[in-house]
Chains A and B, each alone.
Chain A
Amino acid sequence: MAKISLQNIAKRYPNQERFTVEDFNLEIADQEFIVLVGPSGCGKSTTLRMIAGLETITAGSFLIDGKLMNDVAPKDRQIAMVFQNYALYPHMSVYKNLSFGLKLRKYAKDDIDSRVKQAASILGLTEYLDRKPATLSGGQRQRVAMGRAIVRDAEVFLMDEPLSNLDAKLRESMRAEIAKLHQRLKSTTVYVTHDQTEAMTLADRIVIMDQGKIQQIGSPVDVYNHPANVFVAGFIGSPAINFFDVRVENGYLVNDAGFKLKLSALALSKLPNLQPSQELTLGIRPEDIKVSENTESPEAGSTIEVEITVVETLGANVILHAKGGENEFVSRLNAGQYGRPGDKVTLWFNLERAHFFDKTTQQNLVSAKASNGDS
């Protein structure tokens, strides 16, 4: 059982003017897998380290199961942490690395042995118990780092970019293992990454941060389908969402760079407070832009003529980059032949799945409720 509560947490490092983390509010349920995601330098590690007790909390309250933990030493917090560079003890064997914490906590010798052996078997480290970290591969070191966290049955796991030092393939398989491990151990987990794919695949809920502030909290599906603001829309999703600065004119979305799309009745109905000629940022995901085949007959005004610039073939998908007027478009399509660079095609836009942001506040103009009601 470990519920975590972060209330108005803020961090300002000594001799710094600005707060590195500000107004951080988050309730984490027992057994929940939370992923903090955001660009490098946005304060993810700082937040995690405050939870761990490795950084002091400048302001706000941090509670575990209702108990204030702000000033409790790291070792008394029932928290285990996996570090980005693993931080294995170089002079100790894998066995000693795993058992060090248990020894310091005065576990009985048999208990230590059985815990280490069990963790090793879960992580496939049994045959490496006598090795020193220097003789292990990156993936194995990563497992030892995980093992050091799991031997203790800590209530809370913290992981700071645990996969960032692995190559792409290993990262994918370790990602799946972490998901499995969490299903098995069910410890409350806070996981930090700058990789939105990792965040989407692992999280129960994602916390998207930028410049020390939470931008949005929600399930992966929520944040994908209803980004709260321009930043979230741009950060989540790969390839990245298309943005267009547009204004509304006579039921059309237009810009001076040659963009013109008719706003469907449904799209309009989601935007009840739209002012005439209001400036918007339109966000539309690559998969919601299709190449219009001649056989279909799309609604008039829902297409734009473009010229293909780059075609990326990814097996199951084709990523099409195109240019129409001064606007750039990225579209994700099913595998197939759509043309070559220089060819002209017609793109069709599924505006019902588009996102509308206020150009000045950057906030989504459609409330989360309204958009959920529709989808």
Chain B
Amino acid sequence: MKYIGTTIKYLLISAGAIIMILPFVWMISTSFKSGGATMVFPPQFIPDPFVSDNYVTVFERFPMLTYLRNSIIVAIFTTLGTILISTLSGYAFARMQFRFRDQIFLAYLATMMIPAQVIMIPQFILLKNFGWIDTYQGLIVPGIFAVFGTFLMRQAFLGIPKELEEAAFMDGANHLTVCFRVILPLLKPSLATLTIFTFMQSWNNYLWPLIVSSSREMATLPLGLALLQGQRDTDWNLVMAGVVISVIPILAVYLFAQRSFIQGMTMSGMKE
């Protein structure tokens, strides 16, 4: 009797999981199909014939390596830059004393309410004046000033007992030492969150690269994947192979960050 409730719960959860995972299964399955098998009815889940050539073909026919390289460079530097800027500004807004600190923070926070589309054109003009169109700087720099990251890190810093910093000051540390060697190691969960969030956002970003990069040389994966879709007909098996390739780095980052997320959860040494 008492198992019935549990059983129903698990059935519902499983149904949800299947719905979530189906597109991924379909993506992987399609990436191994031959050109003719992508559109057959009824749909095939197990590819027949099973073709792995798509993964080779997509690299041969398109500059996948260039897209991949661009995406990796942009995502990594955007993430590193965001972490650096968010950490420093979050620490300053949480802990340093200066005039109008909270007002400045609120103003900065308020910029989150401005839709990206509104600032897109001014930002483009600005970068054009910098001569940053179709460059890595143009793809990376506007992305690293993340209000959300500053907010996240500020809250995290506020959650650390003040005495910890004061003890470090008494030990002879300066603000930078306190920030990077005393507090940041305690903020792994927040850093992991910020890393996953920023990396994914940068990796999946389509609109900004579309605006800033004009040449194929500077296209990132999302742009490249769009280019895989032809004007009239699309080789879905090739597109899906490209998509699978583009998903792998995200998975890697996620797994990596998740480990330190869990690690961070189990660390605590204060007596409260």
Contact = CB atoms under 8 A, between A and B. Distances in A.
Interface of A: 52, 54, 73-75, 79-81, 83-91, 100-101, 104-105, 132-134, 138, 141, 148, 165
Contact of A87 (B164, B174, B185): B164
A87 B177 contact: no
Given A101-B172, A104-B172, A104-B173, A165 B186 contact: no
B272 interface: yes
A91 B186 contact: yes
Contacts of A138: 271
A87 B162 CA distance: 9
Interface in B112-155: none
B171 A101 contact: yes
B188 to A, nearest CB: 9
Interface stretch (B7-15, B34-42, B232-240, B262-270): B262-270
A40 to B, nearest CB: 17
Nearest to B264: A91
Contacts of A132: 267, 269
Contacts of B269: 88-91, 132-134, 141
11 contacts: A54-B169, A75-B170, A75-B173, A83-B167, A86-B271, A88-B269, A90-B268, A101-B170, A101-B171, A133-B270, A134-B267
A303 to B, nearest CB: 51
Interface string B231-272: 000000000000000000000000000000000000111111
Contacts of A148: 167, 171
A91 B269 CA distance: 8
A81 B186 contact: no
B182 A89 contact: yes
Contacts of A83: 163, 166-167
B186 A79 contact: no
Contact of A75 (B164, B172, B186, B271): B172
Question: Taking each of B174, B182, B269, which has the highest tally of chain A beta carbons within 10 Å of its own beta carbon?
Answer: B269
Contacts, number: 77
Given A91-B186, A104-B177, A86 B170 contact: no
Contact of A134 (B164, B174, B185, B268): B268
Contact of B186 (A87, A90, A100): A90
A141 B269 CA distance: 9
B170 A80 contact: yes
Given A132-B269, A134-B267, A87 B172 contact: no
B63 interface: no
B170 A91 contact: no
A358 B182 CA distance: 54
Contact of B166 (A54, A73, A100, A101): A54
A85 B270 contact: yes
A154 B185 CA distance: 27
Nearest to B171: A101
A85 B161 contact: yes
Contacts of A86: 270-271
A52 B271 contact: no
B142 to A, nearest CB: 34
Contacts of B171: 75, 100-101, 104, 148
A52 B161 contact: no
A43 B139 CA distance: 54
A102 B68 CA distance: 47
Given A90-B267, A104-B177, A134-B268, A85 B163 contact: yes
Nearest to A75: B172
Contacts of A84: 163
Contacts of A91: 185-186, 267, 269
The 5 closest A-B pairs by CB, nearest first: A90-B269, A101-B171, A133-B269, A87-B163, A87-B167
Given A89-B182, A104-B172, A104-B173, A81 B268 contact: no
Given A75-B172, A104-B177, A87 B166 contact: yes
Nearest to B272: A85
A75 B169 contact: yes
A52 B269 CA distance: 23
A75 B172 CA distance: 5
Contacts of A75: 169-174
Contacts of B169: 54, 73-75
Contacts of A89: 164, 167-168, 182, 269
Contacts of B163: 83-85, 87
A105 B174 CA distance: 11
Contacts of B186: 90-91
B271 A85 contact: yes
B186 to A, nearest CB: 6
A166 B186 CA distance: 25
A202 to B, nearest CB: 21
Given A74-B169, A83-B166, 12 more contacts: A52-B166, A74-B170, A75-B169, A75-B172, A83-B167, A86-B271, A87-B164, A88-B270, A89-B182, A90-B268, A104-B172, A104-B177
A87 B173 contact: no
